[in-house]
Amino acid sequence: MNANDLAALTGRPADEVASWLQPIQAAMTEFEINTAAREAAFLAQIVHESDGLRATEESLNYSAKRLPEVWPKHFFLPPDDANGRLDATPFEHHPEALANVVYANRMGNGPEGSGDGWRYRGRGLIQLTGRHLYTEAGAALQLDLVNQPDALLQPAAAARAAGWYWQHINGNALADTATPQSFEQLTVAINGALLGEEHREQLWKQAQALLCASA
């Protein structure tokens, strides 16, 4: 893999993504993402998750209309019935309040008032979310992510955390088979669903072709 490969995958100029080359290569070495099949699957997933290596932090800046679509169990908009849900309007374009509600009492986080939802929102190239994963990844990477969660915004830590999570979900074993079904399993393990499935698969095929050409 080289900077031109990253440029092609992200659709950005090589000089804009070149700073990511060494951190990503180091993470792939550390976590044995060391074959063309593994690299292609890993690169496809991190490029999609990070919006072309542009974002190392989850965006929670939603319109009120969008909130019931993303979190239908949490929010509604009048005149719909509440059915135990919250009116989405006060959470429109309020990322911190939103995170503290939707991530409360989950993934090792405390209740809404603890602030854990916002503190441990998604960060890194594969966005780690929740106190539990921050704790586990921090211990494995020898980083104090519980007290310094913003460390995951930096390229080296963002890439290493992605490599660690890849290992955590047995990403190499799934990538080795290189089947559409196993790639779907990777997507679900990373995203929790098949969101962005078409784009991820396009990136995967593109990465496969690039790595074969570079070999």
CA 18 and chain centroid, separation: 20
Q: Read off the amino acid at residue 157.
A: A
Lowest mean pLDDT among 4-13, 117-126, 184-193: 184-193
Q: How many CB atoms lie within 10 A of CB 95?
A: 16
Q: How far lies 173's CA from each of 32, 38, 153, in Å?
A: 11, 9, 27
Amino acid at 175: A
Q: What is the pLDDT of residue 196?
A: 78
- pLDDT value at residue 195: 72
Average pLDDT taken over every residue of the chain: 94
Place of tokens 């509600």: 101
Pairing assessment for the beta strands 86-87 and 75-76 based on DSSP bridges: parallel
Grouping H, G, I as helix, E, B as strand and the rest as coil, residue 167 is helix
Mean pLDDT of 185-201: 86
Work out the average pLDDT over 119-128.
95
Q: How confident is the model at residue 215 (pLDDT cuts 50, 70, 90)?
A: very low
